[in-house]
Each structure stands twice: as structure tokens, then as C-alpha cells.
Amino acid sequence: MGSGDSWRKIAALIGVFVVLKVQAVPTHIGDNADAGELSDDILDINRGLTHLFEGDIAVDPSRNAILDKTRRWKFPIPYILSDSLELNAKGVILQAFEEYRLRSCVDFKPYEGESSYISFTKLSGCWSYVGDNGTGRNVSIGARCDTKAIVQHELLHALGFYHEQSRSDRDDYVKIWWDQIEEGKEHSFKKYEDDFITDLNTPYDYESIMHYRPLSFNKNESIPTITTNIPYFNEVIGQRLDFSAVDITRLNRMYDCANTHTLLDQCSFELINICGMIQNEEDTADWAQTLSSPADTDHTLAGHCRDSGYFMKFDTSSGAAGSSALLESRILYPKRDEQCLEFFYKMTGAAGDKLVIWVRTDDGTGALRSFKKIHTITGNGDAAWKIAHVTLKVTEKFRYSFQGIRGSADSSGAILIDDITLTETICPSAVWQIHNFNHVLATTPNGSAVKSKCFYNSEGYSFGVSVYPNGQHSAYPDYVGMNLHLCSGENDTVMQWPAKNRQATIVAMDQDPDVKLRMSSTRSFTTGRPRSLAFR
């Protein structure tokens, strides 16, 4: 698996769509994260560093890495994580690598003496050179730069990209308020003609992770230096959540990416070909592609779009007890030795209906005839959409399958599945799902928490999650606060205490069914110093 092996255990909070990746837990809480990492952007962190161009680009570039193909990287890019980096910074760099692998053909490998490489180091501020010069490049992940989004931003510079507002046509989309720019920083708002940089035939992107924020290099703390011609986007520019859809399009166009490294399959069942999935002809029933209705709503779109909002449905209201239908994927060819199958499901019948996950592999003859049962979900009468993560460990070509089984002759409902994603990544180890989060927001006072049950991580530590829907403190009522806390567990007497130097990652996850387009907010910290995190 390589560097992805480090991020093994995840607890997910779905409803607010938050994923918590933990290898251990802090011993207590405090020190609100809003005091630093959520309020400071790259330019705030780098304030006072005079050797940087446009705030976070090392040296004034004389050539453009986008148009000059000799300065584009060959993959995989060798990398060094220097000893100067803090543990949390190393973790978020590896997380950023996995985001590139999921969404593009960009890849990384540990340095083995190559002449061209990226060295991540802790210097003053967050910055990068632009493009590959053939002799090695530094990327600085300094103090307060250790978030995944900042690493993604600096790596896009290293891969050959400039800031969004540097485009030649930027004045059609934003206004630069020159009289509000800090003296000596006017060069940071320079724009380049299209013979120097290229937009790769993509539109101006207010959502780009490479765009400046409104208050960049401002004289007055409340007066912007850059505003959008469409006022709505004044609240959008400078987002540090994740890649935008256009960021990914440009990256894949620049490097001629046809495939990604870790995405094997995904389907939201909106098209009639149902993503190449097939029915088993030996079954007593079939799965049916079904349009959303008030009685059965689609997970993705909830039927809000005309002629959209499809899912797959196995009717359990007729047939003999034990009758079943098998829906199989196309043939898939893995590159890693572990996969995560994520999907949403709903079981509307009486308790007892079953949804079984199978894989079918080579039986030694080249044919996929060897079946293995992987996971079984049994309906409990709770007819709500739920998320599931199922670990597959397949090293050769295979199909995965969903088998619906009617539990009894009294069953009168259906089994629904939607929004399937299969990635060659590590699955969550525990899931906590909060339903009807709008109601929770409306009824939970500021400072009050909703608490999960206790989970175990891979080492045996027991922990739980506290969510403050309307903020943990009165100063932050517009933030959802989240804490990890220890639970008393069965392994306490044999565990090492305190549980230091483990990384916890909290992800506010976008619900887009296309995993390549999800814009999720991520914060990480390491145990040893108490932290609590908040998301606006």
C-alpha cells in the first residue's frame, strides 16, 4: 500500500457528513482550534516574509511551468519528508498525496537518490517553487501550515500552477482595489497574458483552492483588496476546503490524465446502463432501477430534479422467504491489496431482510467463478438511508456483488442501494450516523454536546466523539465543534499511557456522489496537546 498505510482507522459521523480518522485519542479537551488554524490563511501565516512572490511562491519565476513542458513532473514524483517536519505535518502531506492519487494520475514515491524530487521541510511559512527544475525543489510546511488544503495548494504550485486571479481575463470576474493593497505588495496582484500562463480552456473559477481571499495583502483589516463581480462569490473566493472541480479538470488536462490511481468504480445509478452492473440470470428476482418518489426517495437527489434521482431497488414484498436477487459489478482490476466499498442503503421492510456483499474471483481457470461472502447487513425496521463501508482484500481481477434476500413471507418492503464508491483506500473502522441533523441544530443549545458510543482503534484504545452542533463556546455559535475523548475500555490495563503521538483527522465530508468532486474540509492534530476543532 505504501504511504497510505499510515491512515488506517476512521470513525465517521454521517449526517453532518464528518469522517474522523484516528490512530489514538487526546486525553482531554480544550484549546479551541479557531484561535489559529481556521482563521489564518497562507498569506496571513507568511506575512513579513519578503523573499516570496505572490505571497507563497519562491523566487520571481522567469518561465512558466504550465506552458513549458520540460518543467512538468514525471510520475511518480520522489519526495522527502525532512526531520524538521512535525508529526502532524507529515501526516497531512501523506493525506494530500492520497487526494491527488484519488482524483488524478499524479503520484508520489519515497526518494531513492533521483536528481529531481520534492523535499518537504519546515521553514518559515507555507510556500513552494513552481514546476520541476530537474535538481530538486523545497516545499515549506512551516508552523500553522499543517492542514491538508494548504499542502494541496502548495503542491499545485509545485506542479506548475499559479494563483487563479493571475489569469489574463481576471478583470472580467474580479475587481482589484489597488488603493487598499499593502505598500510594496502590488506585484502580488499582477496578471499574466496567455502566452505566459494558460487556463487550459477552463472558465474562471471562484471556487479554486488557488484563489486569493478578499482581504489578501490589505491595509485595513476590514476592507477587501479583491472583490468578485458576482457578489455571491465574495463569500467563496479563497476557500481552503479542497480541490474545486475546475482545479481537478486543469490538473488532469495538464498532465494528460486518463485514469486515477485509487478509484476503481462508482455509480449513482442515474444512467440506464447502471454503470455496467449486471443481473444474475439464475436468481428468482431482479434489482430494478427506480425513479425517486415521495414514498421512496433517492439518496443523492431526493427526487428534486425532474427525471433524475434513481437508485436500485429489490422488492421484498413478494416471493418465497429466502428469494433473492444478485446485482454484480463489471470486472475490476485492482493495483493495491485492499479496497473500500462505500455505499448508501435503505431497508424499508420488517426486520429480517438481508443485504449481502460478495466478491467473485478467479477459480484458477481464468473464469470468475469463486464466490466469497464478505459482509451481511440485516434489516432492523429502521427505514432510513444509512452509509456502509465494507473492506475488500482482493489482489486479482474480481467482481463485487449486492445480494438482496427476502427474510420472511411477512416482509412487505424493499432494499434500496445508491451512491456506490469503490476505492483502493482504507475503510473506516467505525461509523456514527446522526440522522436529521437539521433538527439537532435547531434543538441543541450552544455549548451542549451530542455524544457517540465508544469505539476502539486498531491499537485497542477506546474513544468517543462529542459534537457541539451550535458551538462549544458562546464565542463560536456559528461553528460545529467536535472533540475526541477517551472512554474506559476493556484494554485499559494493558495499554500505554498517555497515548501520545497519534494523529486524529476530522473531515466534514461533502455528499457529492462523485468522489473526485467532493470538497471536504479537513483538520488534523496529534495527541500530546489537547485540541478541539470547529467547522463553520
Residues flagged as binding site for Zn(2+): 153, 157, 163
- Which of these, 403, 387, 383, 314, lies nearest to 344 by C-alpha position? 387
Q: To 5 degrees, how large is the angle CA 58–CA 167–CA 95?
A: 55
Q: Which residues are annotated as a binding site?
A: 153, 157, 163
Q: Is 154 a catalytic residue?
A: yes
- Distance separating alpha carbons of residues 162 and 248, to the nearest angstrom: 14
Please, which residues bridge with residue 179 across strands? none
- Which residues does 222 contact at the CB level (< 8 Å), separation at least 6? 215
Element counts in the chain: helices (H) and strands (E): 5, 30
Residues 446, 474 contacting (CB under 8 angstroms): yes
- Distance separating alpha carbons of residues 489 and 503, to the nearest angstrom: 20
Helix, strand and coil percent figures for the chain, each rounded to 5:
15, 30, 55
Exactly one of 54, 154, 342, 424 is catalytic; name it: 154
Indicate the DSSP class of residue 181. Answer: B
Burial class (CB in 10 A: 0-12, 13-18, 19+), 232: exposed
Longest dimension (CA), the chain: 79
In our burial notation (b when 16+ CB lie closer than 10 A, e otherwise), range 356-367 reads bbbbbbeeeeee
Pairing verdict, β 533-535 and 480-486: antiparallel
- Distance separating alpha carbons of residues 382 and 359, to the nearest angstrom: 27
- Which of these, 389, 401, 298, 385, lies nearest to 345 by C-alpha position? 385
Please name the residue ranges forming H helices in 41-147.
Answer: 42-45, 87-103
Beta strands (DSSP E) in 221-348 are 226-228, 263-267, 278-279, 288-291, 310-315, 324-328, 339-347
What is the secondary structure of 208-257 as a DSSP string? -TTSPPTTTTBSSTTS-SEEESSGGGGGTTT--SS--HHHHHHHHHHTT-
Ordered strands of the 57-58 beta sheet: 52-53, 57-58, 126-128, 137-141, 118-121, 77-81, 108-110
Residue 412 in grid coordinates: 412487505
User: What radius of gyration do the chain's Cα atoms show?
Assistant: 25
Q: Which residues are catalytic?
A: 154
